Structure 1
């Protein structure tokens, strides 16, 4: 039992179960999943579907943080990706033309990759601190998204594009399938191959990794590029779900939720070992918390404060030091004080 409690995924899983239990109390039929029109419907399906963009961004953020970096620009990349795709589709004579939609998606993802490479170049190539390097694109990216949309909300009516974030395939929301594919590929590359070990090595000590023959600069550029790609896909999903692009509001503050998801999942912000499973749990906790806030009727003006308090509580429960102080748990391996009886031995120096 103690080994289960000490597992780094135990507390995130417990918090998620507790949040689901609260929703069961306040929402009738919360756990029910039913088939309507050949599609799966239910509150649990909605949590995963609406949380899919955050999961994608958090997966990319996990690898960036594992190298000891941070990416504050993912929200802007989300806005840019969705804006460019919707702009291209709005200019088509037939918005339902699959070829034109695929071209728009390809252009948006290509630009997302370029933005990721730009962040990686600033961090690894020039040596700018990650928080500053990505802050540049975080600020400027919103302006780029506004330029693409000309400060307006671009509305489209494209059935093929609607599939990306709001459609269904094999009875399951297509966005969930995208997340599963990205997660499976990422897990394979980082856990079945040496890539994950190299990333953790760079995050632990980039200079020592370089001296050991690891191309740390190339790896850092790679993870920022991948993070940009994940944010670009998330931008497509968000704009597809609402069939419009808002350069100002799309992806707003999603970078903070992604960082929180990574931290809740047990990945250290100083770099090194990371947990993709923990990140997914963290993202689901944040999305479930949002659902819980609406289900229990928290006033809108206090929503952000309530959310912040719960997240602080989650982080504290994950801290071994905090739990040891609160529950007065003795550190494992700490020698017990000698008894005052006759069995106590006193060593006299020679």
Structure 2
């Protein structure tokens, strides 16, 4: 049976961590199979049972001719994408000539369409990853080469199949994990609250956008050789005690008096049983600055509480620490008129008094923290 090279296996598993290596992998396959082009595609089931590409890569020669190749081969006009995605075996090694999914009209359309975009017939190896996705490695011959997949090529694909299937599944899982991690980072940024992860030695492992901004400012906390450090000696000693678990409540106040205060809470990380990859002494530090203003967009308050924009502007002012008289002066109205607005806001929201209104607004999703 035809052998596969160690170079190919190394390139395959290297592409899982470094997506840029997929092109080099396709180049190796193009050389070993002596074909016009090699491409890898992740396909997903679409409406009507069609399989549509959601990701793809190809060899460097094909990248240079990508516009020509894609002019037909990578469009819904290609009958190959009309083949039902399931049910199908875990692994499929097939060719245009051997596929039973094509009608005679499909075959003519396929042959003519491929020729127009500079490609010959194809053979492929496809793996089912889950009920909706499959990963396909497809080889196209030269436009003048009409041969079907030969026994040597089929044998090589058979030997490659277990490696390709495992690598495709690992790559898909890593891609999903990275996408989820990025989404969670964006979610953390949206809260406006500084969050970071460090170990017991104060080595930083992760931080969100607000925490990066706080560390860059460096007035209370900063990074020193990859480790967190408080500016003042007493604050640093307190921070060390906090992350080492030597405080009663897992919270501390840093600064204060004539300095900007920071409030910190340490939450220990609980690793999943049997999982590794993160330090077992990891902590999540949530950091807040009590002096930061919280802005409540009147448009949001209007939608959330069913009040007019004018009433919402007053509510926003009060929730941010302002007074009725300050709102009246800013809007150029009398304080009596402003109090009539407040009376309507209390009635519409069901709040008995101004303090209750502020509490309700503070508990809503309307607030966005911004530094003074």
- Larger strand proportion, structure 1 or 2? 2
- Pick the structure with greater CA Rg: 2
TM range (shorter): under 0.3
Could you tell me the TM-score, scaled by structure 1's length? Answer: 0.23
Which fold has the larger relative contact order, with Cα–Cα distance below 8 Å and residues 6 or more apart in sequence? 1
Q: Would you tell me which structure has more helix in proportion to its own residues?
A: 1
